[in-house]
Amino acid sequence: MNHTDLLNIAKTFGDPVYVYDSGKIISQFQRLTNAFGSVKKLKLNYAAKALSNVAILKLMNSLGSGLDTVSIQEVQLGLLAGFKPESIIFTPNGVSLEEIEEASKLGVRINIDNLSILEQFGSKHPNVPVCIRINPHVMAGGNSNISVGHIDSKFGISIHQIPHLLRIVEVTKMNINGIHMHTGSDILDIDVFLYASEILFETAKNFKNLDFIDFGSGFKVPYKEGDIETNVEELGKKLGSRFNEFCKEYGKELTLAFEPGKFLVSEAGHFLAKVNVVKQTTSTVFASIDSGFNHLIRPMLYGATHRIINISNPTGRERYYSVVGYICETDTFASNRRINEISEGDILCFKNAGAYCFTMASNYNSRFRPAEVLWHEGKAILIRERETFEDLVKHQIDVKDLFAQKKEKALAK
């Protein structure tokens, strides 16, 4: 997919628009699979939260991926996309017992991350196998919002609570078929994965009927120019051989599971937006685009950097711009960034727009959410229409003349 293809997509489907390259998703899936080639039973469960368009889920299903879900709605989207219930794992945090029971009724695998729900679920459904999310107390991840395996984190059952956990399992006679951890996103250092894995292996020895160990995710992908990424090949070699060794100790060929989001879809995504205004102030040149953090919140939420390319003028002289959105508060995508000369009407392409971009989009400022397009085998396929005014008011209830009298009184004054 080159710049001309992207410009044609913006022309055909309008802007702003998200574009996903299926080829990149497929090659990332294969890359991670190959990296763990030494492991007999490997299962990648795509983390649906990263990008949950049903077309993307169908693509993942066709690759043999499972699905990691965090809400009953993601479970339903997975089933709609054709995943078998047993290929879906439900890994929620802080949801009600009822939601977990609803997922269990649909036949998906259950991952529980707190002792209270574990005890309640185990007492009511001792025959349903359950995976346990462990908190290994490891500080990992690109920033505090996405570091989730440390001691102050709300996620997982503390490794210091294993005795309590074992008592619940013994009393309820429930069957623990998997153990799981996810310590954060954007983890560069593979030693962090290896260190946390040892904690998981130690924990696993407490459970005799495991089928799988799920190491979560958190692989870092390059965002900025010159960024380095998690070396999944080296991790595959080291963790793969350690895992095989552990399976021998354990006496059973277990499945090694991961639940990657970013690694599979981040780089496949491109967000295209038009420049409405080039505004020169006394200090800055602003390029204001026909979008805002309502469509792509990561820069404002996490301080994330997305590379921005002026695909309408990719060889123009480079100048410094602050790229901003139209939202009624600070809405900055990039400050003083060198970009090829921008004119009003140019199309800017935001890279790494596959993961946690559309799925975090909102209608703030009463704007429509953008269209989504899949680029597959040289063709652009619309996979979500741009919203319309009808979508904005669809679920609002018209109060008719409820305030008519009030208005009449106010006018009479």
SS3 379: strand
Residue 160 Cβ vs ligand PLP, minimum distance, rounded to whole Å: 20
What is the Cα 119 distance to its own chain's centre? 29
349 as an active site residue: the answer is no
Nearer to ligand PLP, 48 or 348 (CB): 48
Residue 47 Cβ vs ligand PLP, minimum distance, rounded to whole Å: 4
Q: Which amino acid is at 87?
A: S
Residue 270 Cβ vs ligand PLP, minimum distance, rounded to whole Å: 18
Binding site for ligand PLP (CB under 6 A): 47, 50, 68, 91, 182, 185, 216-219, 259-263, 355
- 18 known member of a binding site: no
Candidates 131, 247, 328, 357; catalytic one: 328
Q: Which amino acid is at 122?
A: G
Nearer to ligand PLP, 21 or 259 (CB): 259
Tokens (6 digits) for 221: 């992908």
- 302 known member of a binding site: yes
Alpha helices in 142-189, H assignment, sequence order: 162-172
Tokens (6 digits) for 265: 């879809």
- 250 known member of a binding site: no
Residue 370 Cβ vs ligand PLP, minimum distance, rounded to whole Å: 21
Residue nearest ligand PLP (C-beta atom): 261
Nearer to ligand PLP, 47 or 75 (CB): 47
Place of tokens 């919140």: 297
CA 30/CA 377 separation, integer angstroms: 17
Q: What are phi and psi of 79, to 5 degrees?
A: -65, -40
Q: Which of 87, 107, 102, 113 is nearest to 179 (CA)?
A: 113
CA 194/CA 307 separation, integer angstroms: 31
Nearer to ligand PLP, 156 or 325 (CB): 156
CA 229/CA 223 separation, integer angstroms: 9
Q: Which of 258, 249, 134 is nearest to 187 (CA)?
A: 258
Binding residues for pyridoxal 5'-phosphate: 218, 356
Active-site residues, by number, are 328
Binding residues: 218, 298, 302, 329, 356
